[in-house]
Structure 1
Amino acid sequence: MNAIAEQSARVRPAEALDHDVLIVGAGISGMYQLLLLRRLGMRVQVFEAGTGVGGTWYWNRYPGARFDSESWSYGFSFDQELLDEWDWTENFAPQPETERYLNHFADKFDLRRDIRFSSRVTAAHWDDDGRFWTLTLEDGSRHTARFLVSAVGPLSAPTYPRLPGLDDFEGEAYHTGLWPKHEVSFAGKRVAVIGTGASAVQAIPIIAETAEHLTVFQRRPNWCTPLHNARIDKDEMARIRARYPEIFQRCRETAACFIHTIDPRGTFEVTPEEREAFWEQRYAEPGFGIWQGNFRDVLIDRKANALLSDFVARKIRERVNDPEVAEKLIPKDHGFGTRRVPQETRYYEAYNRPNVELVSILETPIERITPTGLRTSERDYAFDMIVYATGFDAITGGLDRIDLRGRDGVKLKDRWRGNLSTFVGVMVDGFPNMFMQMGPHTALGNIPRSIEYGVEWVRDLLAHMQAHDLTLADARGEAVRDWTAFVAKKAEGLLSNEVDSWMTGVNMNVEGKQTRIVARYSGTAGEYRDWCNRVAAEGYREIAMG
């Protein structure tokens, strides 16, 4: 028996496996992947750690949580009936509405029958002889399938500050990314919020309304700009629905799949008066326009970025009454747009309230959590509630928390340690038959627009394998090197890659993640799709199949 025949004889037949495909996560990408692979006739099982669908919009139910992409650019675009029957009520929908939408999606396509809830995956191991994956759940059960799809997303592994005494606090304690389903009241309570990232920026104005006193502990401020949300009435929704083809075409054409895109002019190609008027217009418009629709050079030219940063700093000073507090809220260590820009609604005005205090933990670091509150280098604070708005172990964190092993028992976490590499952000060589949705090095931007493309690309690849009776797909090493080099090239010259943030793989709360890496793809969505489309059109020759 020759080597090929011998290998084929060891491959475990499909009927001996529990499923054809196992998917981890029942958020937007996991549910859409389930739907499309089911339509291929595949036996698919989804494992979801939560008790319901929605992913990000299931877990992040903190007060004020909402879209910062326009609602009507965010939903699924593939099904006309779904578009016709769903009405968005706000330009930037709140979390409860988005969760209802995703539950509606799950019900419409009868997805729950293939989703197992309260099922956290702890391990995923590849069997090279049998060509299958074995997943182990927290309850100890094991499940096998030819293919594995990670749909855990880039922001699904909440992190807490590395402080002693986290379990000592005797009051209420919540993480914004693990918010409880029951109602949380802040009325009459002394509340601490640790963090001033995107979730804190949304939650702080709401908490401040009813808390007896709110103390915000800030390590480093973020540049934030107004969301300018508004209601959508029935007539406006009808106009939006009529424009859906135009809206989704616009998203396909823009750099990051938002309705906003880069202005072709340079900052210094217009007069100072024109520049100021343009920025005033962008600041007054809804959404990400001032970040995603600014002059072409503001994220690469230091002088241009400094001018824009000065403009936004002036806005912060205008909105915050206390000059000392305003200065604390203005970033000094990075320019505007070089980290993700939180969108806010009266965030800065919250600091004008007499019951809100801002504490810089760069000036007075938190030393520990105590039974009654927390201690800084300066004093003890007493609280009834602590809200940890301390973010996520981003990009790779959701996968790092799974004992994920490919060929020869190599752990993905070890493989990526200090040397992140992928093939189009979807595959990793040495981890056959594993596909990542919204993994590192994929086009992020307006996430659902990227998800639809990525899910459909994996569907087409598996359909190709079905048609040719193939049981193995592993990215070739040279293809991984080529793509990773392209990602690195696209990162060159960007001011954002000189800044510590989750977008550069840095998280001070996660051991071993204090060094910047090229963690994300920084090219345009169009360039990304062109690369992936070429791979498919040329018969997937960058992928070793058999």
Structure 2
Amino acid sequence: MAQTINAGATPIPDFDAIIIGAGMSGLYQLYRLREQGLRIRVFEAGTEVGGTWYWNRYPGARFDSESYSYGYSFSQELLQEWEWSEHFAGQPETLRYLNHVADKFDLRRDIQFRSRVTAAVYAEDTRSWTITLEDGAQHSTRFLITAIGPLSTPTLPRIEGRDDFKGASFHTARWPKAPVDFSGKRVAVIGTGATGVQTIQTIAGQVGHLTVFQRTPNWCAPLHNGKIDAETQAKIKASYPDMFARCKETFACFLHTPDPRGAFEVSDEEREAFYEKLYAERGFGIWQGNFKDILIDRKANATISEFVARKIRQRVKNQAVAEKLIPRNHGFGTRRLPLETFYYEVYNQDNVELVDINETPIERITPDGIRTSDREYIFDIIIYATGFDAITGSFDKIDFRGVGGARLTDKWKRGPETYLGIMVHEFPNMLMLMGPHTALGNIPRSIEYSVDWVTGLILFAMEKRLTRLEATPEGVKFWTDHVKALGEGLLSNEVNSWMTGINSNVEGKQTRIVARYSGSAPAYRARCDEVAAKGYAELRLG
């Protein structure tokens, strides 16, 4: 039976639900709740909708999930009228798509832009949340929904003199709206993760000279992007039902899912041919559709790592440079896999230099450029492709306070503790979309499920006249322990990366944690569906 609390008469807040963020999850959550007639307001820090695709407008930003598997699936009319121009759409096209969605469903009338939420405080007497904006304005709501994204808080490197540079400098996630002219410019890029790879390969042909400062090389695989012709467009639109059914069945909601064979269940020749096939195909197949054991067995992982290392040596002419681009501290696919388009060939250009900062560390940013232990480099532009304070970072930026003033940052000091990745004990009526401990993968597919589940819970509360929904300590412990257990044996959880909560640029985030659900998306949905089917009896309701 559900644990109930006598509600009594509670004041009516300004809104039934407030949503923080107008990215993909915030927009869909607004659509779903508004169609039920609820009073909703979205607060968005930016000047437009789009979230990730609003803020990340750096050169080369694009999908690495197939465009047609990434867009919303909830509207057949939308699916048929929108045409993706490429198999992996670039940021400008994706932002146009999200603006089209906002216009088509008239979503902007419930969104307040230029409104950064700085605090959210729960009041037990009114069973409501009060959010405070950067300008001091306050608004109350029964339900608070966070749609703030797992990769939305950029981090800059902790390098002395960063503010001294006299030229232009940008973080990839805070790129200016006005075009940046690279012609003839001396440009530095710090970082070679996914955003660094996309930026480097895009601007290398435009700059006067490019210097790449690399700390940790990443395994990369070809994207193999291309335009979508009319015949393919028609096939895509006809196959949407099957495509989304496929995404629902696969491990991480991609069009790809692990091969049922192990790496050593085939001959050496068959294994090599399989890797060649995957390397030549579009998208994440080489990561998500590879042998079932490459991410859990070191010997199996070594076979694909050695294969990709050979590809790097073949593509990069200078073998000393090639060796610097081959990771030594992690196996293929154990960190987030960047997909590239002639990235390795960039290092064959005379105007591109790779600096390994493990060999010659950066000592400081100077007014004119960057000084390493070896020399000073002069630049016109510095680009920081230094990533994000991932998963929990966006929560740390808001002062969330629950029952009795409990601070979320304190509760998560040793790592996140959640119920289904959606709720937190002592934070009633707060519901997280794509929070810690949820199934990530092909994010929009996970977003739609998460939004639908949260919507179902809120409608249940409205129908039952409930004003307080809270995760129990037992429920949180069970789920958090379950998530940790799922991570055991995964090679990725032995690696320092944003997926394990490591960020050398953020104070206190140098210890590995299990911050993401690493089971299958179907298993995650089955567990959440079970909770809903039993009338949310595992929650404390009142």
TM-score, length-normalised on structure 1?
Answer: 0.98
Match of 1:41, SS? coil
| Counterpart check, 1:125 vs 2:94 | no
Question: AA paired with 1:8?
Answer: G
Correspondence for 1:153: 149
C-alpha separation between the residues in 1 aligned to 2:415 and 2:99?
38
Structure 1 position 50, deviation (Å): 0.5
1:286-328 deviations in Å (ceiling 9; x for gaps): 0000000000100000101011100000000000010010000
Q: Which segment is superposed worse, 332-341 or 200-209?
A: 200-209
Correspondence for 1:419: 415
C-alpha separation between the residues in 2 aligned to 1:91 and 1:145?
41
Correspondence for 2:75: 79
Residue segments in structure 1 that go unaligned for 5+ positions in a row: none
Residue segments in structure 2 that go unaligned for 5+ positions in a row: none
Correspondence for 1:397: 393
| Counterpart check, 1:48 vs 2:44 | yes
Question: AA paired with 1:185?
Answer: D
Correspondence for 1:305: 301
Match of 1:265, SS? coil
1:326-376 deviations in Å (ceiling 9; x for gaps): 000000000000001000001000010000000011111111111111111
C-alpha separation between the residues in 1 aligned to 2:474 and 2:498?
28
2:392–2:416: 8 Å Cα contact kept in structure 1?
no
1:187-211 deviations in Å (ceiling 9; x for gaps): 0000000000000101101111011
| Counterpart check, 1:339 vs 2:335 | yes
C-alpha separation between the residues in 2 aligned to 1:536 and 1:242?
33
Structure 1 position 128, deviation (Å): 1.1
1:418-457 deviations in Å (ceiling 9; x for gaps): 1321011000011000011110000000000000000000
Correspondence for 2:531: 535
- Given candidates 469, 473, 477, the residue that maps to 2:469 is 473
| Counterpart check, 1:229 vs 2:230 | no
| Counterpart check, 1:443 vs 2:439 | yes
1:380-401 deviations in Å (ceiling 9; x for gaps): 1110000000000000001110
1:101-250 alignment runs, 5 A limit: 101-250=97-246
Identity %: 65
Match of 2:164, SS? coil
| Counterpart check, 1:98 vs 2:94 | yes
Write out the 4+ residue segments of structure 1 that deviate beyond 6 Å after TM superposition. Answer: none
Match of 2:205, SS? helix
Match of 1:118, SS? coil
C-alpha separation between the residues in 2 aligned to 1:529 and 1:48?
28
Question: AA paired with 1:244?
Answer: Y
- Given candidates 70, 73, 81, the residue that maps to 2:66 is 70
| Counterpart check, 1:350 vs 2:346 | yes
1:516-527 alignment runs, 5 A limit: 516-527=512-523
C-alpha separation between the residues in 2 aligned to 1:104 and 1:406?
37
Match of 2:417, SS? coil
Correspondence for 2:494: 498
C-alpha separation between the residues in 2 aligned to 1:46 and 1:149?
9
1:80-129 deviations in Å (ceiling 9; x for gaps): 00001000100000000000000000000000000011111111111111
Match of 1:448, SS? helix
How many matched pairs?
Answer: 539
| Counterpart check, 1:27 vs 2:26 | no
C-alpha separation between the residues in 1 aligned to 2:507 and 2:125?
35
C-alpha separation between the residues in 1 aligned to 2:317 and 2:174?
33
C-alpha separation between the residues in 2 aligned to 1:453 and 1:478?
24
C-alpha separation between the residues in 1 aligned to 2:540 and 2:116?
31
Match of 1:312, SS? helix
Structure 1 position 4, deviation (Å): 6.6
Question: AA paired with 1:480?
Answer: V
Q: Which segment is superposed worse, 48-57 or 416-425?
A: 416-425
